[in-house]
């Protein structure tokens, strides 16, 4: 009887207290709670790259941005995919600087089937977990782009096959060789053997998409080359600007290079920013238009200043210094700046040391000099509209393609991609009709700048901004339906939904 009572009690214990009889011992129930993944995480934004539409064959990257108040630096984030929730696909840490965690090329979809792909994210130290996915479309049969390379006397030029760059590569090489020779001669005007000073050919990459303003440089100069380059910068000026950056970095890889001078030198030597134009005359126009920015307010966070104004003023300041000091003295000054806590402190220390002056005094003289110029209405209109156009381009990028805006750009290392044979992040991709409509208007604007047709530029700017106003409110779809499907050359009645 006692034995029977004991067995009943045991059965009760096992059934209702959650303990398991395992190999003769009691052990606590270690059944794991299923993980809870929210669909809408707190303060985390997820972006997948390449940007949508995604296709079988893409090698996907994921960027997670934290916007909450907690300390996120060095917190670990795990990424799981599909059914595999025990072992993460990858782990990485948040950067305290960018508040971002990036999983580069974490999932190769080549052998996957089309369909919905779900990713699960977990920041266990914060008790946060969530899921997010994307639609993987069938692999397009006609797209075979891959990296190709051509070695010229000046440069190693990488480009993607099946792009405009491939079709025009001979003309491109001529432009790059010319511009590199000019840039080197500008740095070393008295030296016939200057080209020998460069350690190796300049690495240049041509991509068919617009990232930032159409070009950027790290250890390679990356340039947009497309017949539909809606950022509107020609290869000649753009390549010259980025080549100057690369040469600049090769000559002086160590000492401080304040952004004010880095960009000033590039714009000055390229002969203009987006188009050719006299730096001093354009800065004088800024002054007349009331748009001039005091240099002590922009020097320490140069890239946060209004982009076109900062670049125009920087180029004009370099032009002014070259006029009063001569090129050799300027370049000697620029390449031998002392270390310091900020760009302003660095420049001031060097000015004090070399010329017994400071940036404020120098700027006062610079402004006095600018006032001796009298830019005509055409230059002023060009300067004013250039600023408005690129503000509008950046507004379009922020709303429609944040991965192209220079502050939030997706520009992973191209040399890593070449090593792994990955092209998707920079290859040509489909655009929605909304993008085509807006980008067509920008393309018209850039053509009209060359003709001086400022009224049409103004008209297109109003139109683009009205379209952006229509889609800007949160949760309004970025759709050609929302803006009335205004395809050029197509009667409106036929195309409205
Ligand atoms: Zn630059």
Number of Cβ within 10 Å of residue 150's Cβ equals 15
- Chain CA centroid to CA 54, Å: 20
Distance 279 CA to ligand 1 centre (A): 15
Distance 241 CA to ligand 1 centre (A): 6
Distance 245 CA to ligand 1 centre (A): 7
Tell me how far apart the alpha carbons of residues 221 and 240 are, in angstroms, rounded to a whole number.
Answer: 10
Please list, in sequence order, all residues whose beta carbon lies within 8 angstroms of the beta carbon of residue 8, skipping any fewer than 6 positions away: none
Distance 164 CA to ligand 1 centre (A): 23
Name which of 127, 141, 119 is nearest 47 in CA terms. 119
Distance 259 CA to ligand 1 centre (A): 9
246: its two tokens: 């690369």
Residue with tokens 């997820």: 46
Which pTM value belongs to this model? 0.86
Strand ranges across the sheet with 100-108: 44-49, 59-66, 100-108
Return the pLDDT at 370. Answer: 97
Return the pLDDT at 249. Answer: 87
Q: Is 275 within 8 Å of 234 (Cβ atoms)?
A: yes
Q: Which long-range contacts (CB under 8 A, 24 or more apart) does 435-441 make?
A: 435/400, 435/401, 436/487, 437/467, 437/480, 437/483, 437/486, 437/487, 437/488, 438/230, 438/396, 438/400, 438/464, 438/467, 438/468, 439/228, 439/230, 440/488
Distance 201 CA to ligand 1 centre (A): 20
Distance 247 CA to ligand 1 centre (A): 12
In angstroms, how far is the first alpha carbon of the chain from the final one? 83
Three-state DSSP class for residue 80: strand
Distance 303 CA to ligand 1 centre (A): 10
Distance 7 CA to ligand 1 centre (A): 82
Distance 243 CA to ligand 1 centre (A): 9
Tell me how far apart the alpha carbons of residues 396 and 403 are, in angstroms, rounded to a whole number.
Answer: 11
Three-state DSSP class for residue 29: coil
274: its two tokens: 């987006």
Return the pLDDT at 255. Answer: 86
Return the pLDDT at 172. Answer: 97
* pLDDT string in tens for the chain (497-residue length): 444 444 444 443 333 333 333 333 333 444 444 566 776 777 999 999 999 999 999 999 999 999 999 999 999 999 998 777 889 999 999 998 899 999 999 999 999 999 999 999 999 999 899 999 999 999 988 888 999 999 998 899 999 999 999 999 999 999 999 999 999 999 988 876 665 556 678 899 999 999 999 888 777 889 999 999 999 988 999 999 989 998 888 888 888 999 999 999 999 999 999 889 999 999 999 999 999 999 999 999 999 999 999 999 999 999 999 999 999 999 999 999 999 999 999 999 999 999 999 999 999 999 999 999 999 999 999 999 999 999 999 999 999 999 999 999 999 999 999 999 999 999 988 889 999 999 999 999 999 998 999 999 999 999 999 999 999 998 788 889 888 888 766 555 544 44
Distance 107 CA to ligand 1 centre (A): 33
318: its two tokens: 């370099």
Tell me how far apart the alpha carbons of residues 93 and 103 are, in angstroms, rounded to a whole number.
Answer: 9
Return the pLDDT at 42. Answer: 76
Distance 217 CA to ligand 1 centre (A): 7
Strand ranges across the sheet with 155-160: 147-151, 155-160, 202-207, 221-224, 215-217
Q: What sign has the CA pseudo-torsion 369, 374, 379, 381?
A: positive
Distance 207 CA to ligand 1 centre (A): 17
Distance 263 CA to ligand 1 centre (A): 5
Distance 148 CA to ligand 1 centre (A): 25
- Three-state SS annotation for 428-471: CCCCCHHHHHHHHHHHHHHHHHHHCCHHHHHHHHHHHHHHHHHH
DSSP β-bridge partners for residue 129: 122
- Chain CA centroid to CA 17, Å: 58
DSSP β-bridge partners for residue 62: 48, 103
Distance 221 CA to ligand 1 centre (A): 10
Distance 438 CA to ligand 1 centre (A): 25
117: its two tokens: 């792909």
């Amino acid at each position: 009887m006692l034995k029977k009572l004991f067995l009943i009690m045991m059965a009760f214990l096992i059934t209702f207290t959650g303990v398991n009889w395992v190999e003769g011992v009691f052990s606590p129930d270690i059944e794991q709670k299923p993980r809870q993944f929210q669909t809408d995480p707190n303060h985390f934004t997820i972006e997948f790259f390449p940007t949508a539409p995604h296709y079988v064959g893409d090698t996907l990257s994921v960027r997670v941005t934290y916007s909450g108040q907690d300390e996120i630096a060095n917190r670990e984030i795990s990424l799981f995919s599909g059914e595999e929730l025990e072992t993460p696909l990858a782990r990485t840490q948040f950067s305290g600087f960018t508040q971002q965690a990036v999983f580069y090329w974490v999932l190769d979809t080549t052998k996957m089937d089309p369909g919905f792909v779900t990713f699960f994210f977990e920041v266990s130290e914060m008790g946060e977990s969530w899921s997010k996915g994307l639609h993987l479309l069938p692999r397009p049969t006609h797209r075979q782009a891959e990296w190709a390379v051509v070695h010229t006397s000046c440069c190693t030029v990488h480009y993607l096959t099946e792009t405009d760059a491939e079709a025009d590569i001979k003309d491109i090489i001529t432009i790059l060789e010319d511009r590199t020779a000019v840039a080197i001669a500008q740095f070393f005007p008295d030296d016939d053997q200057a080209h020998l000073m460069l350690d190796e050919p300049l690495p240049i990459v041509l991509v068919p998409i617009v990232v930032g303003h159409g070009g950027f440089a790290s250890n390679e100069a990356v340039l947009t080359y497309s017949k539909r380059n809606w950022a509107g910068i020609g290869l000649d000026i753009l390549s010259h600007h980025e080549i100057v950056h690369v040469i600049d970095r090769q000559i002086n890889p160590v000492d401080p290079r304040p952004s004010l001078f880095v960009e000033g030198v590039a714009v000055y030597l390229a002969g203009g920013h987006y188009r050719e134009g006299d730096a001093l005359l354009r800065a004088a126009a800024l002054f007349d238009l009331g748009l001039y920015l005091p240099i002590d307010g922009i020097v320490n966070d140069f890239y946060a200043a209004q982009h076109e104004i900062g670049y125009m003023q920087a180029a004009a300041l370099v032009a002014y210094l070259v006029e009063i000091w001569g090129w050799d003295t300027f370049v000697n000054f620029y390449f031998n700046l002392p270390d310091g806590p900020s760009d302003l402190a660095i420049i001031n220390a060097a000015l004090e040391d070399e010329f017994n002056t400071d940036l404020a005094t120098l700027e006062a003289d610079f402004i006095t000099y600018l006032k001796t110029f009298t830019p005509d209405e055409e230059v002023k209109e060009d300067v004013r509209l250039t600023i408005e156009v690129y503000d509008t381009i950046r507004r379009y990028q922020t709303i429609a393609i944040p991965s192209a805006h220079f502050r939030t750009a997706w520009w992973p290392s191209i040399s890593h991609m070449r090593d792994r044979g990955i092209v998707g992040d920079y290859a040509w991709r489909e655009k929605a009709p909304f993008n085509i409509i807006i980008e067509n208007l920008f393309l018209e604007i850039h053509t009209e700048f060359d003709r001086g047709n400022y009224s049409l530029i103004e008209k297109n700017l109003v139109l683009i901004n009205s379209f952006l106003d229509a889609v800007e409110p949160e949760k309004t779809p970025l759709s050609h339906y929302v803006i009335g499907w205004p395809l050029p050359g197509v009667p409106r009645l036929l195309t409205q939904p």
